[in-house]
Structure 1
Amino acid sequence: MDPTIISVFSLSVYAIYFMLPAYLANVTALTFGGGAPLDFKRNFADGRRIFGDGVTWRGTIIGTLIGGGVGLLQGLIMSNPVQGCILGLFLGGGALIGDAAGSFIKRRLKIERGRPAPLLDQLDFAIGALIFASLIVTIPSNLIITILIITIFLHLGANMIAYLLGMKKVWY
């Protein structure tokens, strides 16, 4: 087999493994969210909600903790549970802050909750996770690019599955 194909495959698998705390934090926040919104139902200067009802304290806290837990498990595998847990917390929390930033941008663009914003919907949480993780680890540019490309397809695929299972009202 061509070494380039093996290299791309290996990088892709590592990208998913690296982002697992962020991916699972994002899914967990959606699944276990609800309750008080992160913006306490306050409006921004433009009169629209800061984030909206979809970004909640419970989802943010549980998602971040799940990210930390996944990172802890990864750290145990790599014989450094403390570093794994910290990285998991940064990836998970960063993913949820990135998702909130995406909601903020959508509100400013007058895009209602649940309406599509192509690429923003797929990448806001990944970019947030990568920014937060980059505060404590160096992430090579080829890994960043791979993560962003894979995330688009994983996010769309996961949303389609959630839609088919009745967990989401829209396929995107």
Structure 2
Amino acid sequence: MDLLLLLFSAIWYILPAYIANAVPCILGGGRPVDFGKNFFDGYRLIGNGVTYRGTFFGILFGIITGILQHFIVILYMDPESAFNYGLSGYIILSFLLATGALFGDMLGSFIKRRFKLNQGQSAPLLDQITFIVFALLFAYPFYPLPINTIILLLVISPLIHLSSNIVAYKLHLKKVWW
């Protein structure tokens, strides 16, 4: 598989996770998933940045992305291609990727609080990689990827995440660029 096809395949597969991770920045807010509670160390469990609304819309838009991917495959690509998981397959895969991504983001926030980092403080790699790792962990048992695709995603995702955060910051959708 040439590098360009590998890159396209990797991004196509993980796209619902990327979308799910980005949407709460735009449509989030409201009640935090930790209900404002503190852990036994006295610091917040997760913080105000992870909300029920953001989680709901992240998963919803992740699934919508998967549904759109299905129709793109049917309409514009070879329906016999490796990209055709079928509609139900795309719904399940995108749900797993989106849920895993948001769980990973929550876990990253939990870890940051344990290190006494406030919401918005930078934690290099933790901020950029936990959502991808957990998206892959949630989806892999049902939709496995070759190891070279996983490695590629682990390498490019921090760069894509950082780039998209810079764009969101410039558009005033985020308070910090990381």
TM-score category (smaller protein): over 0.9
Q: Is 1:139 aligned to 2:145, yes or no?
A: yes
Structure 1, unpaired ranges of 5+: 1-5
The answer to whether structure 1 residue 13 and structure 2 residue 19 are counterparts is: no
- Higher deviation after alignment, 51-60 or 64-73: 64-73
Structure 1 residue ranges (4+ consecutive) displaced by more than 4 angstroms after TM superposition: none
AA matched with 2:38 = N
Moved more, 111-120 or 63-72: 63-72
State the Cα deviation string for residues 23-44 of structure 1 (Å, max 9, x = none). 0111112210100101111111
Q: How large is the Cα RMSD of the aligned pairs?
A: 1.3
1:126-148: CA deviation from partner (whole Å, max 9, x where unpaired): 11111111131212211111111
User: 1:37 — aligned with what?
Assistant: 32
Instruction: Find 2:169's aligned residue among 159, 163, 167.
Output: 163
Three-state SS of the structure 2 residue aligned to 1:9 is: helix
Q: When the two structures are superposed, what TM-score results if normalisation uses the length of structure 2? A: 0.90
What is the aligned counterpart of 2:21 among 26, 29, 47? 26
Tell me how far apart the structure 1 counterparts of residues 177 and 91 of structure 2 sit (CA, whole Å): 32
TM-score normalised by structure 1 residue count: 0.93
* 1:40-96 deviation per Cα after TM superposition (whole angstroms, max 9, x unaligned): 111111111110000001111111111111112223322610010010000011100
**Fraction of identical pairs, as percent:** 46
- Paired residues for 1:1-172 under 5 Å: 7-76=2-71, 77=73, 78=84, 80-172=86-178
- Residues 145, 73 of structure 1: CA spacing in aligned structure 2 closer, same or farther, 3 A cutoff? same
Distance (Å, rounded) in 2 between the aligned partners of 1:154 and 1:42: 32
For residue 49 of structure 2, give the secondary structure of its aligned residue in structure 1. coil
Q: Write the distance in 2 (CA, Å) between the matches of 1:75 and 1:128.
A: 23
In 2, the alpha carbon distance for the partners of 1:74 and 1:166 equals 28
The aligned length equals 167
Higher relative contact order (CA 8 A, sep 6+): 2
